[in-house]
Chain A
């Protein structure tokens, strides 16, 4: 095991981490402001991937695809909020889970109906398709590095949006006391639609970026959604900062666990058994991490409204 290989795995872990942050940030915002648990967030991720792949194939430009996926996810998010989600805010969590589960079924079949059952493929833009040489002489795919940078830039932008703008002020006020800001004359229904569309756009953006690494297929958002839940539980529901820290931790632990555990276990058992046991334990590692956090900090690392 060389240092270069180890560094590459750390970068891969960061890339997974920023991806999870884009998903978790939307989920945690929507929960923080509207008190809603949204299982259909993974579907918006999937829609982002499909729209980007389809538009990029049609126009020949990844960038037009990316913009289209952002617009499509945001528009779809706003539409779903107005038609369905709005009716769920004063319902209990069971109704929210079931209604958004119903949306997952409808979105998956709807996408299958529109795009067919076969996966789509999306190429990264030409100037990002090769490797870049990092300081120290290591080669790393330029596109993955671009994802890390884009993700961190979005995180910074989101932080500024929430702490510096009027919309951000309303979002923070909405998290603290919904009735009060409605009484102060803020159009709370419009604010909810904007927050939901913002979360949807983040998910669609993540789906479009990931689409150029994996194949774009039905159900691609579901594993990411559940990982994003783990991130939120570890980071603390409603906390953007917690989501960022936890997303990076989960991304690194998952990637490094899959890389290191089989190798480490090979020191104490024979190689083929070590590979089997190692990969089995590595797939459970982040959930075990979540269990440990729950034992010591049941409200997550950065509890919101503490």
Chain B
């Protein structure tokens, strides 16, 4: 029990650090650092999404960049139609573009959830190493589709000239946009915390530990895994929607397999199946990228070496080092 309390307190501390750092940066007049923290927050949200499938459900998806990109493109496409005042479609009914984040997020979540439903329904027919390869392959399919589909920029991507709007905030100010992303992250983390203790979360973790027993209890492991995969894809899609507005640009690189790998790296750096694991991991990643990227152009070599060392010698990641092992499992 005391170990759990440690992780709980650590999480609150981490949440406060992630909020406090950018506030200090803002008042020290360092808007670049606020934007850097926003990037870490959004990548953390993408990792939180994957952690639902990977950490809780044991579903090693190597294709989550696809949902990240689909969420981003949902925002990019609707925003581009808003910019040109051309409706997205006119028959059988008219759909106009929009610049309202709340609407854009809803669409991004629905579309990425739909993509996750189709990909998950097929991929979950298999397991283990097949599942890894198949999720990777389907993500690559969507990546190539985005490259070769000329209507929305193809390989060059799509620009969003003005960041989309949120009621009551000036999203163009770095601090306002950071606080918005931070609020989304915290809401999702609270929802995941609630879900982990609820019946669905219990069933999902049981499926990871022993699928046969869950089936013997009369539950359908396939449906539980599929539901988790869809929720996971939706959260990562929401992160993609925010990322599109952060960069005011979407392109097929959002779906590249490197990004799928990086989202997975956030989780392992922070700690698999830990609530705040992806948050710590994404922050460490962005700090690492910023610190080494300014010193050497070969920073990815050192990232690889660090990752290798964590995988081989420091299982449990950062939270595992600080807060000790997970109680059960």
A87-B312, A108-B300, A109-B304 given as contacts; is B132 within 8 A of A101 (CB)? no
**Smallest CB gap from B262: residue in A:** A101
User: Are B125's CB and A232's CB within 8 A?
Assistant: no
B145 is contacted by which of A110, A222, A230, A283 (Cβ under 8 Å)? A283
CB distance from B154 to the nearest CB of A (A): 9
CB distance from B68 to the nearest CB of A (A): 17
- Interface residue? B199 (CB, 8 A): no
> Given the complex, which residues of A lie within 8 Å of B308, measured CB to CB?
84, 99, 102-103, 106
User: Are A284's CB and B144's CB within 8 A?
Assistant: yes
User: Are A109's CB and B311's CB within 8 A?
Assistant: no
A168 to B262, CA, bound (A): 38
**Smallest CB gap from A258: residue in B:** B148
CB distance from A44 to the nearest CB of B (A): 15
CB distance from B311 to the nearest CB of A (A): 5
A106-B301, A295-B125 given as contacts; is B272 within 8 A of A101 (CB)? no
The stretch from B77-85, B91-99, B133-141 touching chain A is: B133-141
CB distance from A231 to the nearest CB of B (A): 10
B122 is contacted by which of A102, A113, A284, A291 (Cβ under 8 Å)? A291
The stretch from A89-97, A134-142, A177-185, A195-203 touching chain B is: A89-97
User: Are B137's CB and A102's CB within 8 A?
Assistant: no
How many residues belonging to B are interface residues under a CB distance threshold of 8 Å? 42
Q: Which of A95, A280, A282, A299 has the most CB of B within 10 A?
A: A280
A230 to B129, CA, bound (A): 12
A104-B304, A105-B307, A232-B133 given as contacts; is B298 within 8 A of A112 (CB)? yes
Q: Which residues between 144 and 169 of chain B lie within 8 Å of chain A, taking CB atoms?
A: 144-145, 147-151
> Given the complex, which residues of B lie within 8 Å of A99, measured CB to CB?
307-308, 311-312
User: Are B132's CB and A279's CB within 8 A?
Assistant: no
User: Are B125's CB and A98's CB within 8 A?
Assistant: no
A288 to B142, CA, bound (A): 11
Q: Could you give, for residues 294-314 of chain B, a 1 whenever the CB lies within 8 Å of some chain A CB and a 0 otherwise?
A: 000010110111011001100
A229 to B63, CA, bound (A): 13
**Smallest CB gap from B139: residue in A:** A226
> Given the complex, which residues of A lie within 8 Å of B301, measured CB to CB?
105-106, 109-110, 113
**Smallest CB gap from B315: residue in A:** A95
User: Are A101's CB and B261's CB within 8 A?
Assistant: yes
- Interface residue? A237 (CB, 8 A): yes
Closest 7 A-B residue pairs measured CB to CB?
A105-B304, A109-B301, A287-B141, A106-B304, A102-B307, A283-B144, A102-B308
27 of the cross-chain contacts (CB-CB < 8 Å) are A37-B133, A93-B128, A93-B129, A94-B54, A94-B264, A97-B60, A98-B311, A101-B261, A102-B311, A104-B261, A105-B303, A105-B304, A106-B300, A106-B308, A109-B304, A226-B257, A229-B136, A237-B129, A276-B151, A282-B148, A283-B147, A287-B137, A287-B141, A288-B141, A291-B122, A291-B138, A294-B122
